[in-house]
Amino acid sequence: MSDLRDVPERDGVPAATVPSPSRRGLLRLGGGLVAASAFGLSFGAGSAAAAVPATKRFSLTEPSHDLFRHAKLHDARVQQSFTFDVVNRRLFVAQLKSGSPDDSGDLCITQLDFSGNKLGHMYLLGFGHGVSIGAQPVGADTYLWTEVDVNSNARGTRLARFRWNNGATLSRTSPALAKHQPIPGATEMTCAIDPVNNRMAIRYLTASGRRYGIYNVADIAAGVYDEPLSDVPHPTGLGTFQGYALYGSYVYQLTGNPYGPDNPNPGNSYVSSVDVNTGALVQRAFTRAGSTLTFREPEGMGIYRTAAGEVRLFLGFASGVAGDRRSNLFYKNVLI
């Protein structure tokens, strides 16, 4: 992807920005309340310590660039999420399986090249909604991380790790899966991997609410669950949740709805960044990426690092008509 076309599509609406809270003194709750006051949003207290080293963050008001548009996936339904193997240079996109009920948890994973051409697929039966997936390179292999063990709300309750195997179909009881339940009592669980720092964000729901836990990928893979780097509340009031990504000390969220009579072009899609050490909302920006697409529903986020070392924040959008939905990926690449 180091030789991708850079076709800017400027996000023309001013963003609302809250300055990053000072790390001196770690005023976690105060930072969260400042953000909440600015946006009318809901936050709780952050984690007990700032264990994730502070990093630069993506500027969400900078232009977005095309990776590809109108890519055809293996099945015909809307994409839900995507992920990159940055070592083996692979891209995987998740969608609900065609012909399966919406609450079945049946997924289709399509491997695409970076021009949007299909390279392979897998089916996952009884897993979840495909809200977010992660990729972990192991030598020449890619191991995928997904939700698994679908509940009555069509969401996964645990995490599964398995080797990508083109053409295979895995059930939720397959011996090829390594299952993990790092948060006791969680009724929903998904993950996103920061491939640069080898960390994992776990978005989970318990009786006390929805939160993000930040872990080392190697710890979760090894079954070491009691050493989270951070754990912060999930912000509310941002709109319809459509995906997230982790890079450095920030989680990025994508929200919005498809075009329609109540949501005409340019739509209501926003990108936000949250400090994983404090839970504070740092920036929220309207995005016009892919504004000319038909249907245009925000679906998924991901992180990629090019061979030249440029880190990119990807935004996904579904397009097309019912029965022939397409995948579209855009990225931002300015760090501040």
Mean pLDDT of the 280-297 span? 98
- Note the pLDDT tens digit of each residue in 196-221: 999 999 999 999 999 999 999 999 99
Contact present, 293 and 319 (Cβ < 8 Å): yes
What is the signed CA dihedral for 86, 88, 93, 97, rounded to 10 degrees?
-150
Domain that holds residue 86: 8-332
d(CA 297, CA 283): 21
Residue 2 lies in a domain: no
Residue 1 lies in a domain: no
d(CA 93, CA 316): 10
- DSSP output for 199-236: EEEEEEEETTEEEEEEEEHHHHHTT--S--SEEEEPPB
Mean pLDDT of the 299-308 span? 98
Which CATH number belongs to the domain containing residue 273 in this structure?
A: 2.115.10
Contact present, 268 and 250 (Cβ < 8 Å): no
pLDDT higher than threshold 60 for residue 226: yes
- Note the pLDDT tens digit of each residue in 155-193: 999 999 999 999 999 999 999 999 999 999 999 999 999
> What pLDDT is attached to residue 333?
98
**Edge-to-edge strand list for the sheet holding 79-85:** 79-85, 90-96, 107-112, 118-125, 169-171
What backbone torsions phi and psi does residue 29 show, to the nearest 5 degrees? -65, -40
For residue 17, name the pLDDT band (cuts at 50, 70, 90): very low
d(CA 147, CA 190): 5
> What pLDDT is attached to residue 39?
38
Please state the pTM of the whole predicted model: 0.88
Only one residue has tokens 């912000």, namely: 235
Residue 3 lies in a domain: no
Residue 12 lies in a domain: yes
**How many residues can be counted in the chain?**
336
What backbone torsions phi and psi does residue 286 show, to the nearest 5 degrees? -70, 140
Contact present, 315 and 298 (Cβ < 8 Å): yes
Residue 29 lies in a domain: yes
Mean pLDDT of the 94-103 span? 97
Residue 312 lies in a domain: yes
d(CA 17, CA 35): 9
> What pLDDT is attached to residue 70?
98
d(CA 18, CA 30): 13
Contact present, 305 and 4 (Cβ < 8 Å): no
Residue 302 lies in a domain: yes
Q: Per the structure, how many domains does the chain have?
A: 1
